[in-house]
């Protein structure tokens, strides 16, 4: 399977996993769409990148949290309560993307 296609499939699955609780909680549509798009594109980056001196199993979580920092700053400026949930979701789903990308190649 082509790596780009694999990363797109992983991104769709990761995005769906992340937005399912958001849909259940009836969060705003723009937040739900933004979360899906984030995990869709972050999966393409994680699956196709190789960071030197970083073990493969840490790359996904590290890249996802690094790219989520601006969002955390923006959200934390107005409301600090969702920051731990967003951070944990980002690291866990990013790590799962990295693991899936590693084993499905």
Do residues 8 and 44 touch, judged by C-beta distance below 8 A?
Answer: yes
Query: Tens-of-pLDDT digits for all 105 residues of the chain?
Result: 799 999 999 999 999 999 999 999 999 999 999 999 999 999 999 999 999 999 999 999 999 999 999 999 999 999 999 999 999 999 999 999 999 999 998
Q: Which two tokens stand for residue 44?
A: 């393409």
CA atoms within 13 A on the CB side of 12: 5
Query: Hunting for tokens 């990363």 — which residue is that?
Result: 7
pTM to 2 decimal places: 0.93
Torsion of CA 16, 20, 26, 29, to 10 degrees: -10
Within its chain, how far is the Cα of 4 from the centroid? 16
């Amino acid at each position: 399977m082509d790596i780009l296609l694999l990363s797109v499939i992983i991104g769709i699955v990761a995005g769906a996993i992340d937005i399912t609780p958001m849909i259940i909680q009836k969060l705003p549509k723009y937040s739900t769409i933004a979360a899906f798009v984030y995990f869709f594109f972050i999966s393409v980056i994680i699956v196709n990148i190789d960071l030197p001196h970083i073990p493969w199993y840490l790359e996904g979580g590290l890249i996802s949290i690094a790219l989520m920092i601006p969002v955390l700053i923006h959200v934390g400026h107005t409301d600090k309560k969702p920051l731990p949930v967003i951070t944990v979701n980002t690291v866990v789903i990013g790590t799962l993307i990295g693991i899936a990308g590693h084993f499905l190649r």
